[in-house]
Structure 1
Amino acid sequence: MSTKIDFTYLSEPDMIAAGVMDAARCVEVCEETFSLLGKGDYLMGGANHNSHGMNIVFPKETKFPNMPVAGPDRRFAAMPGYLGGRFDVCGNKWYGSNHGNIPKGLPRSILTMMLNDKDTGAPLALMSANLLSAARTGAVPGAAAKHLANKNSKTLSVVGCGPINKACFEAIITQLPAIEKVVCLALHQEQADAFADWVRDSHGIAAIGTVDAEAAFRDMDVITLCVSRGKPLTFKDEWIKPGATLLVSGPVQPEDAFLTNCRIVYDHTPLHENYVEDAIASGNKDGYYSSVIGGPLYRLIDAGKLPALKDSTGLGDVVNGVKQGRTSPSDRVIFIACGMSVFDISWGFEVLQTAREKGIGQSLNLWDQPAQG
């Protein structure tokens, strides 16, 4: 029996050639992943198998000269998981993040993804994961749009005009072919206008840029929200029309009146239960809630104003036909996504299969025979 272990290395250009930015296909794979989540055929980190991951967060001060200190979004994170079904593979997304990268011409976060054999632990592939992560982050609300938005939706608002919401837009638009107008909201008019120009040029859809939050919410059919983590956006209940679908991929602060008068669908309720457990363990529940996307909902659950997470709806339940998401065209629906490693695993696995079929990537050798048995 051979003990040789080779694995595939995929650079960012390799990932592009293997279709990592194929938004429509990524939505299909994420929908398949939601189905597996709903059935329970997965594992993530932590004792309850639902942890988002493990972070290294640097201290504000240190006596060690080489130890990094805290800065805007400065951290390392590992996101391990196992996904069943046809994927049947383990993986881990690893990334370092530092807002100080931007002046250096680097992305804020630099990510890699490793896929491993579930039995031996042998590496199957090491891949560049910035585009992988962006694509699956966008495809999650894309899958939600398929199952939650009204099919005749004509107006789409992009709240936050950064690269992640661009990926969200690319995925959502594959599921909503009737969209004929896009409103792009950013802090600065030039950024909003640039996004609107990109929408018109790349998709041929009428688009305008704005810095007026109300204009980006009022009378819109579908709203994708992905704004800066340091600046959660507030919006009013009265701005959201009947039938609207809000797809949340970043921190927001909706009025309580909206959250208590809409249908809420989570990406995966056990993940959010784990966030609450972490908040309790932190000893600073309020502070923890302020740092996570679902915090405003968790506060209302604690206050008895929203159903407990165990009684709430996850998108996997909707995909599998176990629970309803939208019950009528007039429902106002909000979808809350916090990100899970299983989506990186499924999309990474899919891209790896394409790379192998097309002969893309480089084979690297771990060993021919291990030096230690």
Structure 2
Amino acid sequence: MQTKVRYISESVQLGNGLLDILDCVKSIEDMFCVYRTGDFMMGGENMHSHGLSIRFSRNTDDRENLYIAMPAFLGGRFNCAGIKWHGPNVKGVIETPLGCSETCYTLILNDPDTGRRKAIIPANIITSYRTAAVSVCAAKYLSLENPEILSIIGPGKINLLITEGILKLFPSIKKIKIKGHSDEGVNRYVDLIKKQFPYINIMKCGSIQEAVEYSDIISVNPGFEFDNIKDMPILREKWIKEGALILSMSFIKIPNNMLYNCSYKIVDALKMYENYIDEYGYPSYSHLSILGNSIADAIHIGKVSKEEVFELANVITQDVKIIHDRKPILFASGGLGIEDIAIGVDLLEKAEVNGLGVMLEE
């Protein structure tokens, strides 16, 4: 019998409401609940690897291509295997409906028992939504009650989605403070947010200090384009409001005293960052300068104990309760293959119900 597989283009994803930031937050919440039960698997010896990578020379210039494959299985209500892979990770080579990108993502969903292909999905937009949804989900469970000021460091497409989700979750927010690389990026962010949330007061800031001071939620996503650690955004302890939530999904520098002694530390999946140390050695932060690797490195050298680091899944399932006091809360996310599976499965269900996408013969 001839079988067919559903192909869901990015124009169909965006043009038919298949992706909504709060729906994606719900998918991510459900995913973390399944994660807590252990009914999942990703790559690597510890089953928590971000992905397998290959590098090779480009034919068109002297830069290097980087491709990453992220196989995963997610059980529970999702019950789906799949893989997202992407490349070439070279700045400015891919155009997507959400803007220019350095890589082209493809998500393939499979029946876990038969291997039958359920869907083939271009996944640049899915990746942006799932990355944003993880941070919005973290804000839902970790933020101070009734936050009033949101700080945005890096006003790109992911922080635009994070802003949308946080403003919908927290109507108490009346002000956004923003710091970006360029006036063009900042102005684009302001125009897009003002169209959707005209009541919001947006303050353009000249420095990171000005942007983060007095803020209740700070979302840091300046990207990965830095020549050295000194150029990355650093958040000084004295700038941070007591009890503030810092969301970080890309390059960032947190001073050691705040990282080691003066913060609560929450991650998406601690073993993923431990896998970076296993694969690349200590310090993993020198290989990939993200917050989760800073935390794993601190554990590795005995500056932080594992008992001081909590996973968001434990907070969602109420196995861990965060008590707000003077310490800021650091939340690190690094990208899990099971997140893509969760978003992809729910997107596929919507497409099937509404008859969207193209059925390809196999």
Q: Normalising by the residue count of structure 2, what TM-score does the alignment of the two structures yield?
A: 0.91
2:245 paired residue number: 245
Deviation at 1:241, TM superposition (A): 1.1
Bigger-Rg structure (1/2) = 1
Query: What is the aligned counterpart of 2:102 among 90, 105, 108?
Result: 108
Deviation at 1:302, TM superposition (A): 2.8
2:51 paired residue number: 53
- Contact residue 252 and residue 289 of structure 2 kept, 8 A: no
2:319 paired residue number: 322
1:304 paired residue number: 302
Deviation at 1:329, TM superposition (A): 4.9
- Contact residue 265 and residue 308 of structure 2 kept, 8 A: no
- Structure 1 residue matching 2:101: 3-state secondary structure: coil
Deviation at 1:167, TM superposition (A): 2.0
Matched length: 351
How has the CA–CA distance of structure 1 residues 247 and 288 changed in structure 2, closer, same or farther, with 3 Å as cutoff? Answer: closer
How has the CA–CA distance of structure 1 residues 103 and 351 changed in structure 2, closer, same or farther, with 3 Å as cutoff? Answer: closer
Question: Does 1:124 find its partner at 2:118?
Answer: yes
CA distance in structure 1 between the partners assigned to 2:264 and 2:137 by the alignment: 17
Amino acid of the structure 1 residue aligned with 2:93:
N
Deviation at 1:300, TM superposition (A): 2.3
Deviations along 1:143-184, one digit per CA (max 9) or x if unpaired, are 000100012100001110111221222222232221100011
Deviation at 1:217, TM superposition (A): 1.1
Amino acid of the structure 1 residue aligned with 2:14:
I
Deviations along 1:271-292, one digit per CA (max 9) or x if unpaired, are 2221221222xxxx33664424
- Contact residue 144 and residue 335 of structure 1 kept, 8 A: yes
Query: What is the aligned counterpart of 2:288 among 284, 287, 291?
Result: 291
Question: Does 1:226 find its partner at 2:221?
Answer: yes
Question: Does 1:269 find its partner at 2:261?
Answer: no
How has the CA–CA distance of structure 1 residues 224 and 66 changed in structure 2, closer, same or farther, with 3 Å as cutoff? Answer: closer
Deviation at 1:98, TM superposition (A): 1.5
2:172 paired residue number: 178
Amino acid of the structure 2 residue aligned with 1:320:
T
Deviation at 1:77, TM superposition (A): 1.2
CA distance in structure 2 between the partners assigned to 1:229 and 1:66 by the alignment: 23
Deviations along 1:212-258, one digit per CA (max 9) or x if unpaired, are 11011111100011112133211211001101000111110111122
- Structure 1 residue matching 2:159: 3-state secondary structure: helix
2:81 paired residue number: 90
Question: Does 1:351 find its partner at 2:347?
Answer: yes
How has the CA–CA distance of structure 1 residues 198 and 209 changed in structure 2, closer, same or farther, with 3 Å as cutoff? Answer: farther
1:62 paired residue number: none
Amino acid of the structure 2 residue aligned with 1:86:
R
Farther off after superposition, 249-258 or 131-140: 249-258
- Contact residue 19 and residue 351 of structure 1 kept, 8 A: no
Deviations along 1:113-168, one digit per CA (max 9) or x if unpaired, are 11001011110000121111100110000100010001210000111011122122
2:229 paired residue number: none
Query: What is the aligned counterpart of 2:40 among 39, 42, 46?
Result: 42
Question: Does 1:255 find its partner at 2:255?
Answer: yes
CA distance in structure 2 between the partners assigned to 1:112 and 1:292 by the alignment: 25
How has the CA–CA distance of structure 1 residues 200 and 127 changed in structure 2, closer, same or farther, with 3 Å as cutoff? Answer: same
- Contact residue 17 and residue 360 of structure 1 kept, 8 A: no
CA distance in structure 1 between the partners assigned to 2:210 and 2:249 by the alignment: 20
- Structure 2 residue matching 1:238: 3-state secondary structure: helix
1:370 paired residue number: none
Query: What is the aligned counterpart of 2:189 among 187, 195, 204?
Result: 195
- Contact residue 18 and residue 351 of structure 1 kept, 8 A: no
2:145 paired residue number: 151
Question: Does 1:99 find its partner at 2:96?
Answer: no
- Contact residue 72 and residue 338 of structure 2 kept, 8 A: yes
- Structure 1 residue matching 2:114: 3-state secondary structure: coil
Question: Does 1:167 find its partner at 2:166?
Answer: no
CA distance in structure 2 between the partners assigned to 1:230 and 1:88 by the alignment: 36
Identity of matched residues, %: 29
- Structure 2 residue matching 1:172: 3-state secondary structure: helix
Q: Normalising by the residue count of structure 1, what TM-score does the alignment of the two structures yield?
A: 0.88
CA distance in structure 2 between the partners assigned to 1:98 and 1:80 by the alignment: 22
Show structure 1 runs of 4+ deviating over 4 A: 65-69, 102-106
Q: Structure 1: state its 5+ residue gaps.
A: 60-64, 367-373
Deviations along 1:291-313, one digit per CA (max 9) or x if unpaired, are 241232233223322113x7621
How has the CA–CA distance of structure 1 residues 29 and 287 changed in structure 2, closer, same or farther, with 3 Å as cutoff? Answer: closer
Deviation at 1:66, TM superposition (A): 4.7
Query: What is the aligned counterpart of 1:9 among 4, 7, 19?
Result: 7
How has the CA–CA distance of structure 1 residues 355 and 17 changed in structure 2, closer, same or farther, with 3 Å as cutoff? Answer: farther
Query: What is the aligned counterpart of 1:360 among 332, 356, 360?
Result: 356
CA distance in structure 2 between the partners assigned to 1:21 and 1:186 by the alignment: 26
